Amino acid sequence: MAARHSGESSHLCQKVLVRRSLSVLYSAEVRLASYNIIIP
């Protein structure tokens, strides 16, 4: 039971980390796109 609970919490943490990395990548892409628009 305890092992299953820790596994679920680690899975949730993994989900949060993936979402955070995706948001960081998206913001980086937007920043690069804006730079490309400013400096063609």
pLDDT band at 3 (very low <50, low <70, confident <90, very high): low
For residue range 13-23, what is the model confidence (pLDDT) as tens digits? Answer: 899 999 999 99
Q: How many domains does the chain have?
A: 1
Q: Which of 11, 32, 29, 10 is nearest to 21 (CA)?
A: 29
Query: Which residue range(s) make up the domain with 14?
Result: 1-40
- Locate 2 and state its tokens: 């305890």
Q: Is the pLDDT of residue 36 over 70?
A: yes
- Locate 7 and state its tokens: 């596994």
